[in-house]
Amino acid sequence: MTTNLHATLKENFGFEKFRPNQEEIINCILSEQDTLAIMPTGGGKSICFQLPALILPGITIVISPLIALMKDQVDSLKANGIKACFINSSQSTEEQQFYIQALQANEFKLVYLAPESLSYLENLFNSITISLIAIDEAHCISAWGHDFRPAYTNLGYLKNRFPSTPILALTATADKATRTDIAEQLNLVNPQTFVASFDRKNLSLEVRPALDRVKQIIDFIDRKPNESGIIYCLSRKTTEEIAEKLQKIGIKASAYHAGLDNQIRSTVQDAFINDECQVVCATIAFGMGIDKSNVRWVIHYNLPKNIEGYYQEIGRAGRDGLPSETILFESYGDMIQLQKFASEGSNAQVQLSKLERMKQYADALSCRRKILLSYFGELVTENCGNCDICKNPPAFFDGTIIAQKALSAIARLKESEALAVIVDFLRGSKNASIFDKEYQYLKTYGIGIDISWYDWNQYIIQLINLGFCEIAFHQQNKIKLTSLAKKVLFEGEKVQLTTVQKIDKTKAEIKER
Ligand code: ADP
Ligand code: ZN
């Protein structure tokens, strides 16, 4: 195709150049290939289907889970002169019929649909040419992701129904297993996968003990009277309580959660976007799709359920690229409560492991950005300089030998065991988990007897945090080596570890309660 993509970008969207991966993704779609696009929030996913929609001869269908946001998305497209509409249950039957006919008359290039609507649109599908199917927030199809929506599970039929139409699946949040799951469930054919860097250098990262949280928050906001931010809370009740406390001292704050009626929710959202409300105290219901570029900070009042969610939420800060702050309050009480939720929900084991990983992040003594990026499969060697650990580093020692022992134990165990067995193996334990598989005959069995069980656990968690190995959540938490491990095992790379400390964040908090 000879279309000049840059010219199309400039003319229709007013942007000078593509963001990372946008152009590659668009080219992939234009060559009619199935595509999986993984980009952080604010990375610019929409252009990846909106621009091809303008070029392709037929109609582009966009599946989105957020009926409430379709109108905004369509309005902003219209503002750019792009012919777009949506069909969903918020419209009357007449209205829906109107748009169906208009689509049949080729009056639109893009149509946004909710996954629930597909079943009654067969007539429409039979009478139009569909050039592209874009599936936004594609992680909603995976029970492994953090925002599973049952209506998404039916989307697998699209590929069977339209075998020659390219599908573009987009998401901001996918660990490796979820990515594979998305592609499988959507029946994508040899999908080209693009993973944009998740590094958002402009976001500072900080974890604080949950001690006098409200006071800390007020002090924080006092120092930045003209900067808006979001406080994420676990419960609806907490959002209201904190909003009230902030309002009492004259801060323009509002609560936002799924229990409020639509009217109130959109008022809060609009006020926030227009800088009339400075602080939104919200559950995770707030944010998906909200396009406010100057959110200057995000605070997590409670521990998030997992790193995907956490990363997406802090990602709502600083979309304009300017320095923005994030603070996470770590609380033992939250951990207990979240453990309870996770163990009662579906897929309990995976959710619990992900929660544990979240806690390890909060407890970590190594560069937090490294941990986040390695979680998303990006291995970096440099420390970031913009997290609390980098700014105030703990004492390091040469942990190369420890790392070599641990990583070679993982290799000897064929990357098929979880943390506890690896530590047993290193320590030469004589229990069933070792003897049943005859691990005692393997080389390196018992080479770590000089280090306590607790310390080994902490060291291996540090190695995970540093990106030398990773937890396979969907394979019984087996620990796998990453490509960085090879450098340590075979190329003499040095590893810096920190002395194991008994972190006392929990004690600090007991005073608060
Ligand atoms: P996502 O869906 O990945 O969170 P959006 O598609 O909403 O991100 O884009 C985030 C912001 O970046 C929007 O304000 C959008 O207009 C802007 N944007 C997208 N692509 C570009 C580009 N190539 N140049 C400049 N701004 C862009
Ligand atoms: Zn750092």
List pLDDT tens digits, range 351-387.
999 999 999 999 998 999 999 998 888 888 899 999 9
> Regarding predicted confidence, which is higher, 120 or 64?
64
Q: Which residues surround ligand 2, an ion (CB under 5 A)?
A: 367, 369, 383-384, 387, 390
Q: Has residue 473 got a pLDDT over 50?
A: yes
Q: What is the mean pLDDT of residues 487-505?
A: 81
Choose which residue among 8, 9, 11, 13 to substitute to test ligand 1 binding: the one with the highest number of ligand atoms within 8 A of its C-beta.
Answer: 13
Close Cβ partners of 322 (under 8 Å, ≥ 6 residues apart): 202, 294, 296
509 pLDDT higher than 70: no
pLDDT value for 104? 96
Ligand 1 in reach of 315 Cβ (< 6 A): no
Query: Span 16-37, mean pLDDT?
Result: 95
Ligand 1 center–CA 276 separation, angstroms: 23
Q: Would you say the CB of residue 39 lies under 6 angstroms from ligand 1?
A: yes
Distance in Å, CA 48 to ligand 1 centroid = 10
- Chain-centroid distance, C-alpha 55: 30
Residue 501 is predicted with a pLDDT of 63
Assigned token pair, 77: 């497209």
Q: At residue 69, does pLDDT exceed 90?
A: no
Distance 202 CA to ligand 1 centre (A): 16
The whole-number average pLDDT for the span 462-467 is: 90
Beta strands in 184-316 (DSSP E): 192-195, 203-209, 229-232, 253-256, 279-282, 297-300
| Model confidence pLDDT, tens digit, residues 90-107 | 899 999 999 999 999 999
| The ligand 1 atom nearest the CA atom of 18 | 23
**477 or 425: which carries more pLDDT confidence?**
425
Choice from 46, 294, 311, 319 to test ligand 1 binding pocket (greatest atom count within 8 A of CB):
46
% of the chain surpassing 70 pLDDT: 96
Please say if the pLDDT value at position 506 is more than 60. Answer: no
Residue with tokens 């080994």: 456
C-alpha 362 – ligand 2 centre gap (Å): 13
> What pLDDT, on the 0 to 100 scale, is given for residue 1?
47
pTM for the predicted model, two decimal places:
0.73
The number of helix segments (H) and strand segments (E) in the chain equals 22, 17
Residues 73-83: what's their mean pLDDT?
Answer: 92
Q: Whose CA is nearest to atom 25 of ligand 1?
A: 15
pLDDT number for residue 192:
95
Other CB atoms within 10 Å distance of the CB of residue 136 = 23
Mean pLDDT of 421-429: 97
pLDDT confidence tier of residue 504, bands split at 50, 70 and 90: very low
Going from the Cα of 154 to the center of ligand 2, the distance in angstroms, rounded, reads 41
Q: What is the pLDDT of residues 285-334, one digit of tens each?
A: 888 667 788 999 999 999 999 998 999 899 999 988 899 999 999 987 89
**pLDDT value of position 146:** 67
Is 19 close to ligand 1, i.e. is its CB under 6 Å away? yes
Reply yes or no on whether the pLDDT at 499 is more than 90: no
Q: What is the pLDDT of residues 156-203, one digit of tens each?
A: 999 999 999 999 999 987 677 788 899 999 999 999 999 888 889 999
Distance (angstroms) between ligand 1 centre and the Cα of 506 equals 40
Q: Whose CA is nearest to atom 12 of ligand 1?
A: 44
CB atoms within 10 A of CB 304: 25
Looking at ligand 1, which residue's alpha carbon is closest to its atom 23? 18
Asked if residue 46 has its Cβ within 6 Å of ligand 1, the reply is yes
For residue 319, the model assigns a pLDDT of 86
Cβ-based neighbours of 417, under 8 Å, separated by 6 or more: 410, 425, 478, 479
Q: Which ligand is nearest the CA of 48, by number?
A: 1
pLDDT tops 90 at residue 430: yes
The CA 197 to ligand 1 mean position distance, Å, reads 15
Which whole number is the average pLDDT over 400-404?
97
Give the pLDDT score at 402.
Answer: 97
Confidence of residue 3 (pLDDT cuts 50, 70, 90): low
Most confident range, picked from 144-153, 173-182, 199-208: 199-208
Q: Is the CB of 179 under 6 A from ligand 1?
A: no
> Residues, the chain, total?
513
Give the rounded distance of the alpha carbon of 505 from its chain centre. 26
Cβ–ligand 1 distance for 219 under 6 Å, the answer no
Cβ 23 under 6 angstroms from ligand 1: no
Q: How confident is the model at residue 511 (pLDDT cuts 50, 70, 90)?
A: very low
State mean pLDDT over 75-87. Answer: 93
**Per-residue pLDDT at 502:** 54
> pLDDT by residue (tens digit) across 108-133?
999 999 998 888 898 899 999 999 99
CA neighbor of 290 nearest in space, from 263, 323, 322, 313: 313
User: Does residue 285 contact residue 256 with C-beta atoms inside 8 Å?
Assistant: yes
Residue 174 pLDDT: 60
* 71 vs 449, higher pLDDT: 449
CA separation for the pair 272, 270 (Å, rounded): 5
Q: Which atom of ligand 1 is nearest to the CA of 19?
A: 23
Q: How high does pLDDT run on average in the chain?
A: 91
Residue nearest to atom 2 of ligand 1 (CA): 45
What residue owns the CA closest to ligand 1's atom 16?
44
- Is 45 touching ligand 1 by the criterion CB < 6 Å? yes
In angstroms, what is the span from residue 388 Cα to ligand 2's centroid?
7
Q: Taking 60 as the threshold, does the pLDDT of residue 457 lie above it?
A: yes
Q: pLDDT tier at 465 (50, 70, 90 boundaries)?
A: confident
Report the nearest-CA residue for atom 24 of ligand 1. 15
The CA distance from 210 to 207, in Å, is 9
Cβ of 44 less than 6 Å from ligand 1: yes
pLDDT > 70? residue 24: yes
Other Cβ atoms closer than 10 A to 473: 23
The answer to whether 371 touches 364, Cβ cutoff 8 Å, is yes
Compute, in angstroms, the gap from residue 370 CA to the centroid of ligand 2.
7
What are 258-275's pLDDT values in tens digits? 999 999 999 999 999 999
CA 42 – ligand 1 centroid, Å:
6
What does the pLDDT look like over 211-253, one tens digit per residue? 889 999 999 999 999 999 999 999 999 999 999 999 999 999 9
Interface confidence, given as ipTM, is 0.97
Cα 95 to Cα 360: distance, rounded to the nearest angstrom: 51
